[in-house]
Amino acid sequence: MYRYDEFDARFVRERVAQFRDQVARRLDGSLTEDEFKPLRLKNGVYLQLHAYMLRIAIPYGTLSARQLRQLALIGEKYDRGYGHFTTRTNMQFNWPRLRDVPEILDLLADVEMHCIQTSGNCIRNVTADHFAGVAADEVEDPRPTAELIRQWSSLHPEFDYLPRKFKIAVTGSPQDRAVTKAHDIGLRILRNAKGEIGYEVMVGGGLGRTPMIAKTIRAFLPKAELLAYLEAVLRVYNLEGRRDNKYKARVKILVHEIGAEKFTQLVEDEYARLDGPSIVADPQEVARIAAYFAPPAYEKLPLRSTGFDAAKTQNRAFATWASVNLFPHKLTGYAAATISLKNIGEAPGDVTSAQMRVLADLAEKYSFDELRITHAQNVVLPHVKQDDLFAVWQALVAADLASANAGLITDIIACPGLDYCSLATARSIPIAQALAQRFADQERQIEIGELNIKISGCINACAHHHVGHIGILGLEKSGKESYQITLGGDATLNAAIGERLGPGLDAEDVPDTIERIVEVYLQHRKAGEPFIDAVRRLGLEPFKAVVQETLHAPA
């Protein structure tokens, strides 16, 4: 994991002092609310429905045990004993007081964390593949790149007042687990014909009101040129992005309106003009960062663990969990374990301070002191010995963290929705809870197989409903909550935007409708055919019919 040096540490402390001063100047009237709002947002402070909300950056989703324990402490001391993991792999607290935020920021700085740029019209927390350093298909670990961008984008003097927010994601694998094509910039690490490492640069993806898939503007950017090229992209966006309408201000609209070709030309012209070598990081600096992500001290283990095999034979629940929640590790004898925060009937992504401490202990004891937060709002222990999996699972059972549903229909992504969020037009969590209860049966979940449901409580699409196999969007219709269903979205390398199945539904009709959609799939699927493949083959028509049935069913 990356560790702060003296420069990083001073930077974050100065930032805390700066925010403390900004709060004081807001109170004494030096700053108006209009002026203060972007400043607090860039420190992760939102004003939500019931209270302020604090969004803490978890860069590229990587956390240590010590950091997670500090989050547990903050949750208890300044909040209501729980936190919420978001789809940008950050943590949100729902109840802090503004007056306490500077103290909280100091506590975060104690463990090398911050809230910088977790909101606002600036470059946001950089995300990466949650199986970075674990996946066998990886060309290169994306985390050093993400860390380099994190530092470069922090308080960038030129890019702190962009037309709109700007999200960057990095993947190091051909199998995209970071939804890079739904980002303002997606970077895919690859090798060219000469075997050199570089990036495919994709720009203009994004969800929200106008979902778009990113376009490739550079098929291969040499690794050393990254920061200079990013500067060119951001400058073009800062100068040319629309500022007349906040819903048309993302870079995706600019790329769409002027065309990818013209946008590429503007970037390349700007790139030709700037002095790249004076901007990019030294190779030594890149190597310094990369060294923090060197593989941990793995043991040499046999391919199969007899203890693991025996435990699976003896304990059916463990065997189920192991078959659903484990991801193959590139090293023999290890596995990456997904810890689901999707217990049936609970709010997706919520975790109590007590559970955070259990997770921290497990990471320390069994996973080289490392945890990952996924964009699916789950936690990963990235490097667990197969021999230890049963002990890990037992501890998870005791902490109510052993749901065996990673990637299944009840592993629902949901934003906080109108239960907390002031932007929401409808609630999301109750829909997620009702669906999870409907599909709670473990064997049926496994029978249905991989199926992502994503529920957003407004058009901003924080839960990425557009790229859910089944997407649900909560809106307001005639003073009531109404839910639109989309089908066929895909967040992977075959990224696709889901299509609407019909008019909005009442909340109580959503579970029946989803169940009918699933039944259509089960009836028509070929052997081993996943839901998303079946939807692609069958088209929308058979599924549209069931929504019509719901609408016309007698009340």
Partner 1 sequence: MPLLDRNGAKKDVWIISDDGSADADHILVSVAHLKQALSGNGRGRRIGVAIANTVKLAELEPHLSEIDLVSIAFPSHGDGRGFSIAKQLRHAGFKGTLRASGPLIADQFAFALACGFDEIEVSSAHAARQPIEQWLKAASSISQTYQRGFGAHNILDARRAARATGK
Partner 2 sequence: MTAAKRPPLPVILLANDLLDGEVVFWTGRVWSDRPQEALIARDEAGAALLEAAAAEALAQNKVVDAYLVDVALDGEGRAVPRHYREKIKTEGPSVRRDLGKQAGQSNLVPTGH
Binding site for partner 1 (CB under 8 A): 5, 7-8, 10-11, 14-15, 17-18, 21-22, 25, 29-32, 35, 38-39, 121, 151-152, 154-162, 235, 238-239, 243, 273-275, 278-282, 284-285, 288
Amino acid at site 419: D
Binding window for partner 2 (CB under 8 A); candidates: 25-33, 190-198, 436-444, 541-549: 25-33
For residue 287, give both structure tokens.
């190597």
How far does the chain reach from its first CA to its final CA, in angstroms? 56
**What is the spatial order of strands in the sheet that 470-477 belongs to?**
413-414, 453-456, 470-477, 480-487, 499-500
For residue 347, the minimal CB distance to partner 2 (Å) is: 6
Amino acid at site 338: T
Query: Taking the CA of residue 216 as centre, how many other CA atoms within 13 Å lie in the half-sphere pointing to its CB?
Result: 8
For residue 254, give both structure tokens.
């600019």
For residue 391, the minimal CB distance to partner 1 (Å) is: 42
Taking the C-alpha atoms of residue 379 and residue 85, their distance in angstroms, rounded to an integer, is 9
For residue 14, the minimal CB distance to partner 2 (Å) is: 23
- Residue 473 touches partner 2, criterion: CB under 8 A: no
Exactly one of 15, 26, 42, 312 binds partner 2 (CB under 8 A); which one? 26
Please enumerate in sequence order all residues whose Cβ is within 8 A of that of 299, keeping only pairs 6 or more positions apart, or say none: 333, 385
Asked if 305 and 385 count as a contact pair (C-beta separation under 8 A), the reply is: yes
For residue 412, give both structure tokens.
């629902």
For residue 233, the minimal CB distance to partner 1 (Å) is: 12
**CB nearer partner 1, residue 5 or residue 196:** 5
Dihedral over Cα of 25, 26, 32, 37: its sign: positive
The binder of 33, among partner 1, partner 2, none, by C-beta within 5 to 8 A per type, is: partner 2
Per the document, the length of the chain is 555
Q: Which positions from 77 to 96 touch partner 2 by CB under 8 A, shown as an x/- string?
A: ---x--------------xx
Binding window for partner 2 (CB under 8 A); candidates: 221-229, 286-294, 326-334, 417-425: 417-425
The binder of 26, among partner 2, partner 1, none, by C-beta within 5 to 8 A per type, is: partner 2
- Residue 475 touches partner 2, criterion: CB under 8 A: no
The binder of 439, among partner 2, partner 1, none, by C-beta within 5 to 8 A per type, is: none
Closest to 221 measured CA to CA, from 252, 256, 179, 186: 186
Taking the C-alpha atoms of residue 528 and residue 532, their distance in angstroms, rounded to an integer, is 12
The binder of 401, among partner 1, partner 2, none, by C-beta within 5 to 8 A per type, is: none
Closest to 23 measured CA to CA, from 11, 41, 6, 36: 36
Binding residues for partner 2 restricted to 205-234, rule: CB under 8 A: none
- Residue 504 touches partner 2, criterion: CB under 8 A: no
**CB nearer partner 1, residue 75 or residue 163:** 163
Exactly one of 246, 480, 537, 545 binds partner 2 (CB under 8 A); which one? 480
- Residue 56 touches partner 2, criterion: CB under 8 A: no
In degrees and rounded to multiples of 5, residue 191 shows phi and psi of -110, 140
For residue 25, the minimal CB distance to partner 2 (Å) is: 10
Asked if 534 and 524 count as a contact pair (C-beta separation under 8 A), the reply is: yes
The binder of 280, among partner 1, partner 2, none, by C-beta within 5 to 8 A per type, is: partner 1
The binder of 418, among partner 2, partner 1, none, by C-beta within 5 to 8 A per type, is: partner 2
- Residue 420 touches partner 2, criterion: CB under 8 A: yes
Asked if 74 and 357 count as a contact pair (C-beta separation under 8 A), the reply is: no
The binder of 299, among partner 1, partner 2, none, by C-beta within 5 to 8 A per type, is: none
Taking the C-alpha atoms of residue 197 and residue 514, their distance in angstroms, rounded to an integer, is 44
**CB nearer partner 1, residue 116 or residue 336:** 116
Exactly one of 27, 294, 310, 545 binds partner 2 (CB under 8 A); which one? 27
**What is the spatial order of strands in the sheet that 168-171 belongs to?**
127-128, 168-171, 185-191, 197-203, 215-222
Taking the C-alpha atoms of residue 204 and residue 216, their distance in angstroms, rounded to an integer, is 9
**CB nearer partner 1, residue 207 or residue 228:** 228
- Residue 197 touches partner 2, criterion: CB under 8 A: no
Q: CA dist 279 to 218, 224, 228, 290, Å?
A: 19, 11, 6, 19
Exactly one of 254, 429, 435, 534 binds partner 2 (CB under 8 A); which one? 429
**Residue 189 CB coordination number (10 Å):** 23
**CB nearer partner 2, residue 419 or residue 499:** 419
Q: What is the DSSP string of 100-133?
A: GHHHHHHHHHHTT---TTSSSSSB---EE-TTTT
Beta strand 453-456 pairing with 470-477 = parallel
For residue 415, the minimal CB distance to partner 1 (Å) is: 25
**CB nearer partner 2, residue 26 or residue 466:** 26
Dihedral over Cα of 186, 220, 138, 536: its sign: positive
Report, in angstroms and rounded to the nearest whole number, the Rg of the chain calculated over CA atoms: 23
**CB nearer partner 1, residue 32 or residue 523:** 32
For residue 144, the minimal CB distance to partner 1 (Å) is: 15
Exactly one of 99, 191, 262, 537 binds partner 2 (CB under 8 A); which one? 99
Taking the C-alpha atoms of residue 445 and residue 411, their distance in angstroms, rounded to an integer, is 10
For residue 431, the minimal CB distance to partner 2 (Å) is: 10
The binder of 285, among partner 1, partner 2, none, by C-beta within 5 to 8 A per type, is: partner 1
- Residue 34 touches partner 2, criterion: CB under 8 A: no
List residues binding partner 2 (CB under 8 A).
26-29, 33, 47-52, 80, 95-99, 347, 418-420, 422, 424, 427, 429-430, 433, 479-481
